């Protein structure tokens, strides 16, 4: 997500007070909980997003959208590597490719491209453009995206921040891509403000989706061909009909089907049970802009969390975090089946 250019400049004293208050709230919340939150060694991202765990390399991949970087946190080394790619700016999402280690599908502007990276050097290489939305969509960029259990890429767009208030526009769309270079892309939904979190819990035909400005989490039925139908509101974030002071951003799920929703401006993740349609847990994170999450680790029981920093926010805003002790497990995110 990207709301940083909508934020007003704060004074240094205000930032200092806010940072102290945020840490106090985090400490109080974590002391009362069974989980623990650890800041991992990583660059402070302008807009960290799109975490995806790779079982083969035991690494977490993610992006810094506005920093135009792809990053890899190596679990064994406890170290994060970062790379840029000439001509690829901004970047979101990053997608792993089935059977092609070292190759990644990225969103950049209104295009989907294939790049190569060794996971260690500070430079990646643009291989080719896979999809181009064309001149009619030059005013948007890709934001969040993931792969469904059938290996198809779903990715959504939002208006470019440079063109005005992104909270007031509905220029975004949600697409499905068939995995063939230069092949078809299918429009699934339009009239979107900021296309964000998406996930498919196992053993259901359900798809959960976030348009941040809508202040809710949507539920869809998924047809065999990947199309969506029967849109309903699973959970409304409003409190007594009012804005809660944050918006939903990225999202993942655990093996029990519970959703973990990042909150931009909320300093927390919300664990939502789709069956009861209730919040079961709030997971405090010591950064105001919490952007997304992904389960990972050797046992798939650690939740990795990306964040952003805006304005004059102090560290650890923009850091990568790891949450343990949640008593939940996830599965590795699906890789895209990319046809030659």
Do residues 284 and 307 make contact, with C-beta atoms less than 8 angstroms apart? no
Token pair, residue 108, equals 């950049």
Burial 315-331 (b: 16+ CB within 10 A, else e): ebbbbbbbbeebebebb
Q: Does 249 participate in catalysis according to the annotation?
A: yes
Strand partners, 108: 111
Token pair, residue 10, equals 């704060």
Strand partners, 129: 113
Please measure the distance between the N-terminal and C-terminal CA atoms of the chain and give it in whole angstroms. Answer: 31
Cα separation of 106 and 141, whole Å?
12
Among the options 249, 254, 301, 334, which is catalytic? 249
Residue 77 backbone dihedrals phi, psi, to 5 degrees: -85, -15
DSSP string, 76-139: TTTEEEEEB-TT--S---EEEBTT-TTEEEEEETTEEEEEE--SSSSB-EEEEEEEE--GGGTT
Contacts of 300 (CB under 8 A, 6+ apart): 53, 329, 330, 331, 332
Residue 182 backbone dihedrals phi, psi, to 5 degrees: 75, 10
Token pair, residue 9, equals 């400049």
Residue 19 backbone dihedrals phi, psi, to 5 degrees: -65, -45
Do residues 113 and 88 make contact, with C-beta atoms less than 8 angstroms apart? yes
Cα separation of 47 and 2, whole Å?
7
Do residues 185 and 132 make contact, with C-beta atoms less than 8 angstroms apart? no
Contacts of 315 (CB under 8 A, 6+ apart): 44, 309
Do residues 261 and 248 make contact, with C-beta atoms less than 8 angstroms apart? yes
* Catalytically annotated residues: 249
């Amino acid at each position: 997500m990207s709301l940083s250019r909508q934020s007003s400049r704060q004074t240094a004293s205000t930032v200092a007070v806010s940072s102290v208050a945020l840490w106090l709230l985090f400490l109080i919340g974590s002391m009362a909980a069974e989980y623990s939150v650890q800041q991992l060694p990583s660059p402070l991202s302008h807009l960290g997003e799109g975490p995806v765990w790779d079982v083969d390399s035991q690494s977490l991949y993610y992006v810094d959208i506005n920093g135009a970087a792809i990053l890899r946190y190596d679990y064994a080394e406890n170290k994060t590597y970062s790379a840029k790619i000439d001509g690829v700016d901004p970047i979101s999402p990053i997608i792993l490719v089935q059977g092609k280690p070292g190759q990644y599908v990225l969103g950049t502007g209104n295009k989907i491209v294939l790049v190569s990276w060794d996971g260690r050097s500070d430079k990646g290489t643009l291989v080719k453009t896979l999809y181009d939305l064309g001149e009619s969509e030059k005013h948007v960029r890709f934001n969040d995206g993931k792969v469904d259990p059938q290996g198809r890429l779903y990715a959504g767009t939002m208006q470019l921040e440079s063109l005005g208030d992104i909270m007031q526009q509905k220029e975004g769309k949600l697409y499905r891509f068939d995995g063939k270079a230069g092949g078809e892309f299918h429009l699934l939904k339009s009239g979107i403000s900021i296309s964000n979190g998406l996930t498919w819990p196992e053993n259901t035909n359900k798809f959960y989706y976030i348009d941040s400005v809508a202040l809710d989490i949507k539920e869809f039925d998924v047809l065999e061909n990947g199309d969506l139908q029967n849109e309903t509101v699973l959970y409304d974030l409003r409190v007594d009909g009012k804005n809660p002071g944050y918006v939903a951003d990225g999202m993942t799920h655990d093996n029990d089907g519970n959703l973990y929703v990042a909150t931009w401006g909320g300093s927390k993740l919300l664990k939502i049970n789709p069956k009861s349609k209730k919040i079961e847990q709030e997971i405090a994170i010591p950064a105001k802009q919490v952007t997304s999450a992904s389960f990972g680790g050797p046992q798939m029981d650690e939740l990795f969390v990306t964040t952003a920093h805006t304005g004059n926010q102090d560290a650890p805003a923009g850091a990568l975090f790891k949450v343990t002790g949640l008593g939940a497990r996830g599965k590795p995110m699906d890789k895209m089946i990319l046809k030659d």
